[in-house]
Amino acid sequence: MLFKQQALLRQKLFVLGSLAIGSLLYLVARVGSLDRLQPICPIDDRLRPHGQDEIPLRALQFKRGLLHEFRKGNASKEQIRLHNLVQQLPKAIIIGVRKGGTRALLEMLNLHPAVVKASQEIHFFDNDENYAKGIEWYRKKMPFSYPHQITIEKSPAYFITEEVPERIYKMNSSIKLLIIVREPTTRAISDYTQVLEGKERKNKTYYKFEKLAIDPNTCEVNTKYKAVRTSIYTKHLERWLKYFPIEQFHIVDGDRLITEPLPELQLVEKFLNLPPRISQYNLYFNVTRGFYCLRFNIVFNKCLAGSKGRIHPEVDSSVITKLRKFFHPFNQKFYQITGRTFNWP
């Protein structure tokens, strides 16, 4: 009887020991796999002053959580000070183009651990009332960040507003400027589609695109229509070039960002002097949504708002042909100025 009890006890101890060892091995393997899957590495030496310790990704993720708590009022200013966080003026601005993919570009760049984005469009430089509040008001609209991180904001209206280039130049003459463009006719139709959707939500009627884009009196392209005027990229860029050299601009292919985002993001990383940190792991195609979504880490994924990727209304083919013919000489000049050629018809 005693022998049986001892044997049973040894068997229970063996089972418990096996479970404990198995659990330990699982945890070791799990931690190792997390490290291997980690898509973003610590910030490169180029992003911090010489002599400072590197800031690991986990610290950056913790900081993002802390900033979120601070914005909700759950963290004190003392906590922010202790973590050496500051609100910086942007070192780069996405200045346009409306319906070119500015939101997608900003969100994708935010995958990089050295980039901090302003979540909302500030409209500081294109809004006289906001601009009158001064540069300190603008700075306080920026997110908290480490001193050596890059803050980026985007306001597509900047590109087409006459006063903006001079105002930004006065703030920072060496700032880096990002412009994301799409095929001009497609962009104009997308612009129209957004306005049309807004009208329909309010149960209001709206003209067809053809009637707005083509002047009924001359049967030529209506350059007074804002959606058409915005797509004449070279006209707006020439105004910016009065203040900034072309080397301070980077042109992003908005059409390619939709279908093949990684190469475009890698070009932006290089332009901003950032070490390559965004990889294919961070981008995955969502079949249901029909475009790429973002993977920050093994836990956190994000897709753009449902309003992105609207279905365009059908437009008369003769109007599309007329618009493409109209934009063609402006496109050629845009290629020449920027040094980047697109396969636009």
Nearest to residue 171, comparing CAs of 115, 239, 89? Answer: 89
Q: Tell me: pLDDT of 29 over 80.
A: no
Contact between residue 243 and residue 231 where contact means Cβ atoms under 8 Å apart: no
Q: Which range (30-34, 70-74, 146-150, 244-248) has the least confidence? A: 30-34
Q: Tell me: pLDDT of 128 over 70.
A: yes
164 versus 74: the higher-pLDDT residue is: 164
Helix H, strand E, coil C: the string for the chain is CHHHHHHHHHHHHHHHHHHHHHHHHHHHHHHHHHHHHCCCCCCCHHHCCCCCCCCCHHHHHHHHHHHHHHHCCCCCHHHHHHCCCEECCCCEEEEECCCCCHHHHHHHHCCCCCEEECCCCCCCCCCHHHHCCCHHHHHCCCCEECCCCEEEEECHHHHHCCCHHHHHHHHCCCCEEEEEECCHHHHHHHHHHHHHHHHHHCCCCCCCHHHHHECCCCCCECCCCHHHHHCCHHHHHHHHCCCCCHHHEEEEEHHHHHHCHHHHHHHHHHHCCCCCCCCHHHEEEECCCCEEEEECCCCCEECCCCCCCCCCCCCCHHHHHHHHHHHHHHHHHHHHHHCCCCCCC
Under the banding of pLDDT at 50, 70 and 90, the label for residue 298 is confident
Question: Which residues are CB-neighbours of 60 under 8 A, at least 6 positions away?
Answer: 43, 113
Rounded to the nearest angstrom, the gap between the alpha carbon of residue 135 and the centroid of all alpha carbons in its chain is 23
Taking the CA atoms of residue 112, residue 115, residue 116 and residue 122 in that order, the dihedral angle to the nearest 10 degrees is -120
51 versus 164: the higher-pLDDT residue is: 164
Phi, psi torsion values for 195, nearest 5 degrees? -65, -45
- In the prediction, which pLDDT does 31 show? 36
Rounded to the nearest angstrom, the gap between the alpha carbon of residue 10 and the centroid of all alpha carbons in its chain is 61
Instruction: Specify the pairing of strand 144-145 against strand 86-87.
Output: antiparallel
311 versus 126: the higher-pLDDT residue is: 126
69 versus 82: the higher-pLDDT residue is: 82
Average pLDDT over residues 37-63: 39
Question: Which residues are CB-neighbours of 182 under 8 A, at least 6 positions away?
Answer: 97, 99, 100, 101, 190, 254, 255
Q: Tell me: pLDDT of 39 over 50.
A: no
Taking the CA atoms of residue 118, residue 121, residue 123 and residue 129 in that order, the dihedral angle to the nearest 10 degrees is -90
